[in-house]
Structure 1
Amino acid sequence: MTDADLEAITTPQDDVAPAFPLTSGRQRGYHRAAVDSFLDAARAAFEQSRADFGADDVRAASFPLVKEGYAIADVDAALSRVEDAFAQREREEAIRRVGVDAWVAQARDDAQQVLDHLSRPHRQRFARTGILTFGYRIDEVDHVADRISAFLRDGAALDVEQVRGAAFRMQRGGYREEQVDALLDVTVEVILAVR
């Protein structure tokens, strides 16, 4: 199925006001129906306190890019707020279930694992792609990794939005995307845990 087919099947009604600003011209944005459907599912899961949907699901959400889609920055900002709400609820539930001391101990353990991983030498912090395959730019990832280390080790300023918004250019033989993304996800969880 092509983007045009998907768009034709799931284009929202013109008489319904869009939930977010739309892109125009050659700029692409998130597929409107995909975003609306995901946010409806997230809202229902939150209102029903379902255990099968949480902050991880919001963080992992991705949407096709199409012409006249939702503006990416606006949707990402909304998703950050939704993720925060789920994380807050998950933290409260975990504290009720295991107690504050166990919750803090788990957050410290997660933070230490991230810090241990990032204590590796520059250019060796993550597995690399092959010489003909693209991965995240090593110097950019190492820069973000240094900021995370300073936050975890020394309490340097670092906001969850800075970690969520980290974006890296690509290079041949770069760091493997899935490893970097997994570490960033754990870092976000640690920051949300101590907020």
Structure 2
Amino acid sequence: MNAVSTTFPRTSSKTLGYKVGQVDDFLASTREAYDRGDAEKQLTAEEIRHTAFAMQKGGYSPQHVDAALERLEDAFAARERERAAATMGEKAWLAEAHATSRVIVERLGRPTGHRFDRTSVLSVGYSRADVDRFANKLVKYFTDGFPITVDDVRTAVFRPQRGGYREAQVDVVMDSVVDVMLAVR
């Protein structure tokens, strides 16, 4: 793993950025976890993906920290893939990723407007049209090799909509898509 610099550009003293101490502490513990390589106490790519930091004025630039976290996630996912392939065999690892992709395609292949549970008309969720449009691209990726990158999935943004899709359900599927994409890289 390449050493990750903990020196990120800072936001202005009037602009919110990630809390410096939290980012530095997280990156130090991440570096230690990667170097230690203890499989039983290993930090996972998924845990890195779900890392969040408090905000502070004059903190680290979120854009730069997020880019570093994505690189860390990729490095940890590659290590997880290597370990799993060594443990269960490359064919079994790929078969597991393929089985997960089939489940994803079944979910995303549901009829437009009915792919996920919806919030009530008084609550806000993700825009059904936005999610459905992206879901169609993901189905094409899994079935026809349509070009989509991990970053496209990581950075997908869905507008808010009353009565939209439940965010938690959509987010879980998007995480699964990222996991599969990283598994077969």
Decide: shared fold, TM above 0.5.
Answer: yes
1:166 aligns to what SS in structure 2?
Answer: coil
Call closer, same or farther: CA 1:169–1:27 in 2, change over 3 Å: farther
* Counterpart check, 1:89 vs 2:111: no
* Percent identity of paired positions between Structure 1 and Structure 2: 44
| Matched-pair contact (CA < 8 Å) for 2:6–2:24 | no
TM-score, normalising length: structure 2: 0.91
Unaligned runs of 5+ in 1: 1-16
CA offsets 1:122-159 (integer angstroms, 9 cap, x no match):
11111111211111121111121111111001001011
Counterpart among 98, 106, 117 of residue 116 in structure 1: 106
What corresponds to 2:23 in structure 1? 35
Range with greater deviation from structure 2 (50-59 or 183-192): 50-59
Counterpart among 54, 57, 69 of residue 67 in structure 1: 57
- How many residues matched? 179
Call closer, same or farther: CA 1:71–1:40 in 2, change over 3 Å: same
Q: Distance in 2 between matches of 1:135 and 1:70?
A: 29
| Matched-pair contact (CA < 8 Å) for 2:109–2:136 | no
CA offsets 1:46-83 (integer angstroms, 9 cap, x no match):
11113331101101101122221211111111001000
Deviation (angstroms), 1:110: 0.7
What corresponds to 1:46 in structure 2? 34
Report matched runs for 1:99-138 at 5 Å: 99-138=89-128
Q: Which residue identity is paired with 1:46?
A: Y
TM-score, normalising length: structure 1: 0.87
Write out the 4+ residue segments of structure 1 that deviate beyond 3 Å after TM superposition. none
Q: Which residue identity is paired with 1:32?
A: V
* Counterpart check, 1:23 vs 2:23: no
Deviation (angstroms), 1:25: 5.6
What corresponds to 2:175 in structure 1? 185
